[in-house]
Amino acid sequence: MTKIDIISGFLGAGKTTLIKKLLEEVYAGEKLVLIENEFGEIGIDGGFLKDSGIEITEMNSGCICCSLVGDFGEALVKVLEQYNPDRVIIEPSGVGKLSDVIKAVKRVGHEGQMELGNFVTVADATKARVYMKNFGEFYNDQIEAAGAIILSRTQGMDEEKLRKAVDLLRERNENAPILTTPWDVLTGAQIMEAMEGISLAEKLQEELEHEHEHHHHHDDDDECCCGHHHHHDDDDDDDDEHEHHHHHHDEDCCDHDHEHEHHHHHEDGEECSCGHHHEHGHHHADEVFTSWGAETINKFSEEQLRDALKALDSLEYGTVLRAKGIVMSDDGEWFHYDYVPGEISIRKGAADYTGRLCVIGSDLDEDGLKKLFNI
């Protein structure tokens, strides 16, 4: 199965630079073909990329979305049949429409031989407003159709200008991850993570599910799915089944607004503290929890970040079971943080493609969380 990646971007945005970084750090060892489409008579990047040992197919007579749709289809079929590559990277013309490129790939078909992988847009952060105003038909399409938006030239950019650029792009694409961190402090793998839209919430859901499946046996002090410890009045552990009652300020980890009983059967089937019955303790976290996540370019002092995380213990924002994220510090470094009720960990670490926040729990107050983290 050949994966088809499309790396688009307006003229001069830095597509070729991005592709070179990915070739060196991510795609090494893959059998890969690059299909370029330069707008003009001569393709100028082919020689630059041939140094990487990549097969180059250039199409120089027009943009992929108009006169070359037919030729493009033939070229892609030829590539698949002749080279059987692991991956094909398509670098469309800077003035091409990404939506049309995606349609052209889908039109080729060849089910079982190829799948559409990542379709991203590289955007010069310093020129977002002027390009959107002057070349909206083409520029906006590239933004709107992108599965991820990779910003270039953010080094040393004024924070407020960067925020305005991100806001403009977000108006055109609500869901795509937007990479705001300068590329030179990121690994190719981190950029690939942004391209693939890997959600921090998904990662946390997997961690919670793993933890939840392994925490059904309790001693005198039980830890339920909310991460809090509850003491029993009855210290008799002779029975395999036991009950405990607890209040979470009228909220609890099972989305109920009343006190309830938790039954723990440690035999073939288990009814755990989430209130659901699961055979052998196997269930999915998304059956129980909800998540809130956001991207941010905001900078935090350690005190600001710690105060925001401490506030999650108040239950004012819902029953928060876990929070995790990576944000830029006010001195330009990066904080990696983890939170469980009553416990906070903040450490310095590597940069991420942009600041990312994630909270998992039940009955989450999303508007309140946005205000808490100044989103």
pLDDT for position 214? 56
Give the separation between CA 292 and CA 137, rounded to whole angstroms: 33
pLDDT for position 204? 66
Q: Is residue 296 a contact partner of residue 170, using CB atoms and an 8 Å limit?
A: no
pLDDT surpasses 70 at 260: no
pLDDT surpasses 50 at 19: yes
pLDDT surpasses 70 at 371: yes
SS3 at position 114: strand
Better-scored residue on pLDDT, 217 or 120: 120
| 131-140, 195-204, 260-269: the lowest-pLDDT one | 260-269
pLDDT for position 314? 94
Q: How confident is the model at residue 69 (pLDDT cuts 50, 70, 90)?
A: very low
Q: What is the mean pLDDT of the chain?
A: 76
Whose CA is closest to 230, among 241, 243, 221, 240?
221
Give the separation between CA 328 and CA 318, rounded to whole angstroms: 26
pLDDT surpasses 80 at 341: yes
Span 111-115, average pLDDT: 79
Span 141-158, average pLDDT: 93
> What percentage of residues in the chain have a pLDDT greater than 90?
33
pLDDT for position 224? 42
Give the separation between CA 70 and CA 150, rounded to whole angstroms: 29
Burial tier of 309 (Cβ tally within 10 Å: 0-12, 13-18, 19+): buried
pLDDT surpasses 60 at 197: yes
pLDDT for position 203? 65
Q: How confident is the model at residue 233 (pLDDT cuts 50, 70, 90)?
A: very low
Give the separation between CA 370 and CA 202, rounded to whole angstroms: 19
Burial tier of 280 (Cβ tally within 10 Å: 0-12, 13-18, 19+): exposed
Better-scored residue on pLDDT, 248 or 63: 63
Q: How confident is the model at residue 39 (pLDDT cuts 50, 70, 90)?
A: low
Better-scored residue on pLDDT, 294 or 235: 294
Give the separation between CA 109 and CA 103, rounded to whole angstroms: 10
pLDDT for position 219? 44
pLDDT for position 107? 83
pLDDT for position 207? 65
pLDDT surpasses 60 at 75: yes
pLDDT for position 113? 83
pLDDT for position 148? 94
SS3 annotation, 342-360: CEEEEEEECCCCCEEEEEE
Burial tier of 236 (Cβ tally within 10 Å: 0-12, 13-18, 19+): exposed
Better-scored residue on pLDDT, 57 or 23: 23
| 25-39, 208-222, 342-356: the lowest-pLDDT one | 208-222
Q: Are strands 221-223 and 229-231 parallel, antiparallel or unpaired?
A: antiparallel
pLDDT for position 263? 37
Span 167-176, average pLDDT: 94
